[in-house]
Amino acid sequence: MPQHQPAPAVIHSRTATVPDAGNPTGMEPVASESTLTHIVGIGASAGGLQALESFFEHFIPPPGMAFVVVQHLSPDFKSLMHELLARHTQMRTVCVDQDMRVEPQTIYLNTARQDLTLNHGVLQVSDFPDLPGMQIHRPIDHFLSSLAETAGEKAIAIILSGTGSDGELGVRRIKEHGGTVLVQDTASATFDGMPRSALATGVVDAVMSPEHMPRAILGSISPLIPSPTAEFAMDEDKIVTIAALLGQQCPIDIMPYRRTTLYRRIHRRMMLTDVNEIDAYIAILRSSAEERGMLVQDLLINVTRFFRDSEAYRVLEREVIPTLLDRIPEGETIRIWVTACSTGEEAYSIAMLLREQLDQRSMKTPVKIFATDVDQEALAMASSGCYPERIAEDLPAERLERFFVYRDTGYQVIRSLREMIIFAPHDLTQEPPFAQMELVSCRNCLIYLEPYTQQHVLSLLGYALRDQGYLWLGPSESIDPLSAYFQPVQRKWRLFRKIHPVPPPRAAQFTIPAFPTAALFSHTHDVPKKSGSRVSAPQIADPKPWSVYHNMVETYCPPALIVSDRGSVLWVVGEGAAYLKRPAGMFSTELLQVIIDDLVIPVSTALHRLRQGKTEVAYNSIRLPGDDGEQWIDLRVRRIMDDQHPGGLILITFERTAVVAESQADNGEVYDFNKLSSQHIRNIQEELEWTKANLQATIQELETSNEEYQATNEELKASNQELHSSNEELHSVNQELYTVNAEYQSKFNELMALHNDIDNLLRSTDIGTVFLDQKLRIRKFTSAATTFIPLLPQDIGRPLNHLALTFAAEHFLQDVEHVLNGGEPVERELQTQSGTWFTLRILPFVLDDGARTGAVLNFIDLTSIKEARCQAQATVHLLQSTLDTHPSQIAVLNCDGNIILVNDAWQHAAANDTVPGFFDVGENYLQLCDRISPDDWPEAPRIAAGICQMLRHERDAFDIEYAYHGSGAERWFKVQAKRLSGDGPPSVILTHEDTTERKHMKERAALHAHELAEANVLLAERNTELIEFTRAINHDLQEPLRQVVTFSQLLQQHLAGTLEQEAEESLGFVIGGAQRMLTLVQHLTDLAHVGQVEMKRAWSALDACVQEALKALGLRVAESGAEVMDEGLPEVMGDSAMLTQLYQNLIGNAIKFSAHRQPVIHLTAERQQEGWLLGVRDNGIGIDPVHAKIIFDPFKRLHGRSQYDGNGLGLAVCRRIVRRHGGEIWADLEVQQGAYFKFTLPDPLP
């Protein structure tokens, strides 16, 4: 049955008319508002380009229409689809790589590895999600599903050429929401995988080639009411005719359908089949079984899925099923009826919920789910329980794994779940209901029926439910006509519980369709029949007006029944139902079971007489008792021949009579109960005897047939074994073919990789290569070859002798032909006119079988090689000259031990032949060492063994020193060998050196070292004595000097004013000289102390040392107003006392030589790689560069004492302190003003 169609969400409606068939597309678009009205989603894959070009080339779209093309694109290649389609359409083409709003008259194309989603008129882009397992992403399904949700009935889906099944789910969603689905026919599709998958869904509106789709699309979007020129008389007679024709296609009666639904569906099929008149379309229906099937499918809309409306199923799972299981008595069967089940997903969903809860409760309660529908094909699919892979999107993984088994073509329902369901054909509007149901589901079916039929079906469903049973309707359906009998359980999802008994519907409304047979009409037409289908509609093509006929029957015809030759009631005429029984439960159409008891004997007797050859039987004055008193009727039974029923039909009429007939009438006999009873008994006896005989014959035939079946069974077993063997062989062959295919694929991949390798090699190589065929024509060349032969891409195919060469080569073409004809390869060294040297190699192009089919010219540039040779020769010459200047004897050995290079000293020694071990160039040093007698040169074996070890990379160098006394004098020699490093074979440089003089020098040096050690000991003793002496002198000199200064100052104070001026000046000289002497002694002591005292190294903060120095210079700093600034001084490893003395001396000098201005002193620090560079810069008088080298010497003064006091030891102390710390101090002479002393303090060793 049809399913509910939700209204579109965004797309606005528009109007259009069917265009004229004159232009190239077959129709002309009609102007309308610029509002977006329709979106066409097109899915295409392999082979889709040609189909898309053909589609757009034949399409002039109306305003308001947009297109979205979704393809399977490779991420490794750039798509050129937008450029290709632009050549075949006037519309704008856009590649969607970011979110954008859909606009009319535009074609939107997807990009690689990205999904398109339509949301409120906006195309949204998202990357492909990571899918688990072997699931394949389906971009076409993804977009079409979003298009269906957004556009509803305004959505149009097109599936074009492609492999796989992408688009199958999408077209179902489009159809589910009332949209239109077109599919390319398999004949025109390059690859028919996607079209076939879409066709298998059964929801396709039309199948055609791409060039015919534009007209079908424009026809499908045209309004329901046709243009004034089209005579579209959609009256009731036309509907009746169409109903009769469709009744031959499948057992479906469309008369109860809503007329708006019928009109809309019929009109859309008319547009898709390119007809404008209803009579023309009826003609198509009469001649085309395929079109009848398409219209039936369009009306049925078999679109469903597992757990559709998941929230509704959760209500069913939580509130309904537990209640059913709680109240069901033990051992009683749970009976459920799923009407309009389509392909079975809803029935299986309910079965899964029941099975889960039964297992949770460990209950063994039997379950029978009756799933019915009018569509035989949908029921066949449901009964098979086979579903495509796409159901994984609707089912949770645990349910999919529990209730399904994966097969090659999809998923198969497990056997235990399948056994819970009985699938059967059933028409709600025509047939009796099932009974005693716990739950009846009738979702999204009633909305397509006329109101009076809805009420009838609701009564039928209510009658089928047992007390407290549940009725489940679709979300847009209402139970208002029966609301008094039901209590809502969940209003949103239309779930109700039966609380009062529902009156049964009238028998005539559902047992037998009150519809005339063709035999009652004066004329009939042939209508194609479907074998095996029941007759449920009049088999006429041009009936009388139904209303006139109906009134005629009601007015003039007596009550009657029309019965088939087998005794089944087909139609009830007038008040014929009054003579039928209304039993409870399942209603039967067997005449003798439903006829009232008082008429069983006369009717059965009359039927028996008809079977014996009578054409009509009549019984008069049959008495029928009743509540209103008895009545008398005349019974007439006659056979009617009908083309649609090979056995004919039987018409039974009931005519009331007021007077009991006394005697037999002309047209019948008086009903005699006893006589007819006897006759009825005799008939039964005869039938029993005939049945016995027939049964005995049947038994014998069955026995014979059984033997034949046994023999046939044995044959079938043998055939089955043969088929099994053949299947095994086919399976083996299939595996072999698969293996061969895999090998071919692997080879293809290898060839592609090899092709790419060769292509990249030819592009990247610096070797010029030209390929020639047998006629010396250019086949291929590399770019490097153009340096030697001026080739262009268009020169491919030209003969070689037509091209100019950049080099002069005699017999060049003859050499090529020589090689091509079997000669040896040719190699020549040539030079171009521009001076480039190269090697020309002419090689044959040889196939695997050895045949020569061309030649290969290689041009190898030798310019760099020649330059390298010259450089190598110059290097060798330089090396030889360098070795010749060395006084030692030097030789170079190659990897074999041969002497390849010697210097002049080696050659001189070899020429004198006074000392062994010196051999000429070209000789093998190792072999000669082996041949020398140990008496002549005992060290020869050791030297040869060491060289062999180096050539084997076992050692890098060695040296041996030995004595040789061959000439009578004692002489010493040293042999040194070192392996030369490099990428080539190993080589060794060997040095022979006369060390006799060095030996003697070492002996003398050892003697001098001994003497020096003794002197150092004596010097250390003297140094200790000097330190003690210095200390004594310091004390002995300072004390008398202090006394001289003190007493002189006392004397000066005591005699102040009494001495003459000359005497007072002399006394001042005495005091000044003594003070200077005292300062000199102190400085000398400091100088000696710095050089002799042990340093106390520790991490010292220079900031603290500077502060201590400033404290010592506090009075001078205050008097001069000096300003001392620093840039942040570091911590260093050193003696803090010495460093304080260092800064004190340098800052004191800066204050002293300030040139009577305010001293400004900068203390600098700069981090270097191995330590700190520190400095003291002032703004004083500066230093003359001439004196820069002597200012650090002791007692060196640049100014007299009258200018600046001092004794010239301050900077000497500074240098000693810095050097004891491992650094150096100097004066920077590049400053413009003042002095800048810099010194270094290295980092401590790790």
- Where is pLDDT greater, at 651 or 966? 651
- What is residue 11's predicted lDDT score, i.e. its pLDDT? 31
The CATH code for residues 765-861 is 3.30.450.20
Single-letter amino acid, residue 970: E
496 pLDDT more than 90: yes
Kindly report the CA angle at 939 between 938 and 944, in degrees rounded to 5? 125
Given phi > 0 = left and psi -120 to 50 = alpha, else beta, which region is 105?
left
* Residue 797, helix vs strand vs coil: coil
Q: Do 866-994 and 765-861 fall under one CATH topology? A: yes
User: Which of 153-167, 521-535, 942-956 shows the lowest per-residue confidence on average (mean pLDDT)?
Assistant: 521-535
- What is residue 840's predicted lDDT score, i.e. its pLDDT? 87
- What is residue 669's predicted lDDT score, i.e. its pLDDT? 63
User: Which of 64-73, 457-466, 744-753 shows the lowest per-residue confidence on average (mean pLDDT)?
Assistant: 744-753
CA distance 1121 to 1119: 6
Assigned fold of 866-994:
Beta-Lactamase (3.30.450)
Q: Which stretches within 1093-1175 are classed as H helix?
A: 1102-1112, 1114-1120, 1136-1152
Answer for the pair 850, 867: CB distance below 8 angstroms, yes or no. Answer: no
pLDDT interval class at 1002 (50, 70, 90): confident
pLDDT tens track for 1056-1114: 777 777 777 777 767 766 665 666 566 666 655 555 566 778 899 999 999 998 988 88
pLDDT tens track for 863-892: 888 878 888 778 778 877 777 777 888 888
By the 10 Å C-beta count (0-12 exposed, 13-18 middle, 19+ buried), 929 is classed as buried
pLDDT tens track for 616-642: 888 888 888 876 677 888 888 988 876
Residue from 72, 212, 992, 1083 carrying the catalytic annotation: 72
Highest mean pLDDT among 305-319, 626-640, 928-942: 305-319
- What is residue 108's predicted lDDT score, i.e. its pLDDT? 94
- Where is pLDDT greater, at 1179 or 1192? 1179
Backbone angles phi, psi at 1166, to 5 degrees: -140, 130
Evaluate whether the domain defined by 1094-1242 bears CATH number 3.30.565.10: yes
The mean predicted confidence, pLDDT, of the chain is 78
Answer for the pair 656, 622: CB distance below 8 angstroms, yes or no. Answer: no
Q: What is the pTM of this model?
A: 0.40
CA distance 1044 to 80: 111
Q: Which of 104, 150, 125 is nearest to 8 (CA)?
A: 150
Dihedral of CA atoms 1227, 1231, 1233, 1236 in degrees, nearest 10, equals -30
* Residue 602, helix vs strand vs coil: helix
1199 pLDDT more than 70: no
Beta-bridged to residue 423, according to DSSP, are: 371
- What is residue 413's predicted lDDT score, i.e. its pLDDT? 93
- What is residue 8's predicted lDDT score, i.e. its pLDDT? 31
Highest mean pLDDT among 35-44, 533-542, 880-889: 35-44
| Number of Cβ within a 10 Å radius of residue 12 | 13
Element (H, E) at 837: strand 837-846
- What is residue 156's predicted lDDT score, i.e. its pLDDT? 92
CA distance 1237 to 1225: 7
Q: What is the DSSP letter of 15?
A: -
1029 pLDDT more than 70: no
User: Which of 204-213, 522-531, 870-879, 1218-1227 shows the lowest per-residue confidence on average (mean pLDDT)?
Assistant: 522-531
Annotation marks residue 1162 as catalytic:
no
CA distance 610 to 595: 18
Answer for the pair 860, 839: CB distance below 8 angstroms, yes or no. Answer: yes
Residue from 4, 38, 45, 992 carrying the catalytic annotation: 45
- What is residue 1079's predicted lDDT score, i.e. its pLDDT? 63
Assigned fold of 508-686:
Beta-Lactamase (3.30.450)
What's the start-to-end Cα distance of the chain, in Å?
92
Given phi > 0 = left and psi -120 to 50 = alpha, else beta, which region is 1234?
left
Percent of the chain with pLDDT over 70: 78
Residues contacting 987, CB < 8 A, separation 6+ = 892, 893, 894, 895, 900, 979, 980
Arithmetic mean of pLDDT, 835-864: 86
Annotation marks residue 568 as catalytic:
no
- What is residue 505's predicted lDDT score, i.e. its pLDDT? 64
Residues contacting 197, CB < 8 A, separation 6+ = 164, 165, 166, 167, 168, 388
pLDDT interval class at 295 (50, 70, 90): confident
Annotation marks residue 1100 as catalytic:
no
Answer for the pair 233, 270: CB distance below 8 angstroms, yes or no. Answer: no
- What is residue 228's predicted lDDT score, i.e. its pLDDT? 34
727 pLDDT more than 80: no
Residue from 166, 192, 861, 1135 carrying the catalytic annotation: 166
Answer for the pair 665, 591: CB distance below 8 angstroms, yes or no. Answer: no
Strand 560-564, strand 569-573: pairing: antiparallel
Residues contacting 437, CB < 8 A, separation 6+ = 335, 336, 337, 370, 464, 465, 466, 469
Domain boundaries defined on the chain: 38-221, 304-505, 508-686, 765-861, 866-994, 1094-1242
Assigned fold of 38-221:
Rossmann fold (3.40.50)
CA distance 669 to 657: 14
Arithmetic mean of pLDDT, 259-272: 78
Beta-bridged to residue 830, according to DSSP, are: 838
147 pLDDT more than 90: yes
Dihedral of CA atoms 577, 579, 585, 586 in degrees, nearest 10, equals -70
The CATH code for residues 304-505 is 3.40.50.150
How big is the chain, counted in residues? 1246
Q: Is the dihedral of CA 1199, 1202, 1205, 1206 positive or negative?
A: positive
pLDDT interval class at 944 (50, 70, 90): confident
CA distance 876 to 871: 9
pLDDT tens track for 355-405: 999 999 888 889 999 999 888 888 888 888 888 887 888 888 899 999 999
- What is residue 187's predicted lDDT score, i.e. its pLDDT? 86
Q: Annotate 135-183 with DSSP letters as a single string.
A: ----HHHHHHHHHHHHHGGGEEEEE-S-SSSTTHHHHHHHHHTT-EEEE
Kindly report the three-state secondary structure assignment for every residue of 985-1017: CCEEEEEEEECHHHHHHHHHHHHHHHHHHHHHH
Beta-bridged to residue 972, according to DSSP, are: 963
Single-letter amino acid, residue 389: E
- What is residue 491's predicted lDDT score, i.e. its pLDDT? 86
**Residue whose tokens read 């309707």:** 473
